[in-house]
Structure 1
Amino acid sequence: MAKILLGCLVGCLPCAGITAIRSLLDFIYIAQYTSHTTETLRYLQDALDEFQENKQFFIDTGLWQHLNIPKFHSLLHYIHSIKLFGTTDNYNTEMFERLHIDFAKHGWHASNKRDEFPQMIRWLSRQEKISQLATYISAHFSVPHPTPSPPSSPGANSDDLHEVESTITIAKEPNFKNRALSQIEVVHNAPNFSYHLKQYLGGLLVANSSAPRMSAARTAQFSLPFTKVSTYNMFRFQPKGIQDDEEEHDIIWAIPQSKGYPHGRYDTAVVLVNDEAQSTGLAGMTV
């Protein structure tokens, strides 16, 4: 919720305040990674340095007399602690609270309250065996079954043949069939739709050939072999997490103006455009 509310503060706070809050949120989210590399620790240090440079804003505006707060001071030791002890999920206080519930309370309730310690130990041992069996079964059934590979053409390299599983799902039937490109630019509030469609298709042609990338002038003169396309109001996709999270599914809506949506509904999406994209920042991406 904090990262959503931060966007609401744009224009209401000076840049120093927005930067301090954003860098602190970046530090919090990066510090929660379940695995770290030298690069992610550098991101963590950059976020901390940016917060230190802009935290004076809270004192200058009179929001607080000082920032000599133990939790703010502890931020200075995160990187060193991660290098020594591993990621933060290995030693935060919540872990021990959870272990107290699992190892003590649940084991106590499972006993008959008489000579409880041997019963609690036996109960924990059984829980561990059940967990190991569940992990084994899950790993066994999650292994994909081998499928026969398609016949390769003469001279084809086996390294070039790989299966790509799409994570995007759309409806079987479009919401609007054979809608003119000029109509899409008006109804869908996409004035440059035809140009960007030409640019996208031209990029596919360049990617499949040795031809140079088309310039803006050449893209504008590029003639499409069609004048109508079908449009969809939404599609589902499964984002690839940067951590070992559970599978998530999301929906992108693009609903044109209608009686129920007088201004339409157009969700914002960050799309990868080249291999330079990273897990932080917008380099190599487009909005």
Structure 2
Amino acid sequence: MCCNITTEDTIIAIQDSLNCFHKYCKVFHAEEVISMFSLPRQHSMTHYIHLIHLFGAPNGLCSSITECKHIKAVKEPYHCMNHHNALRQMLIINQRLNKLAAARVDFQKQGMLNGTCPSTTLEALGK
């Protein structure tokens, strides 16, 4: 959900939609489709109205940000591993990716990523 202004009508619409979702998601429990039905976006919505009252409208914030980070931090590493001790492997992969990103920033600051290997070699040889 993205909007610039949150009015009382918007808050009522959010609550109505949330109530509707919780009413109809029970069918998944009844049919035993999944044992625990707690999607991140829908769960975060349970706190949304309270947080709007506390802090105001989250201008420009979108719940898809969480999903995007989840894909990078969980789904992509999960597909690159053997799935044994998956959480440990995902944490190590994310730690290494963070270190690589920090190294890239450092290398850019030092000018180490300017040019290509052949052009740098030719420049060093004075050609």
The structure whose residues are more often strand, as a share, is: 1
Mark the structure with the bigger radius of gyration: 1
Higher RCO structure (Cα 8 Å, ≥6 apart): 2
Same fold (TM over 0.5): no
Which structure has greater helix proportion? 2
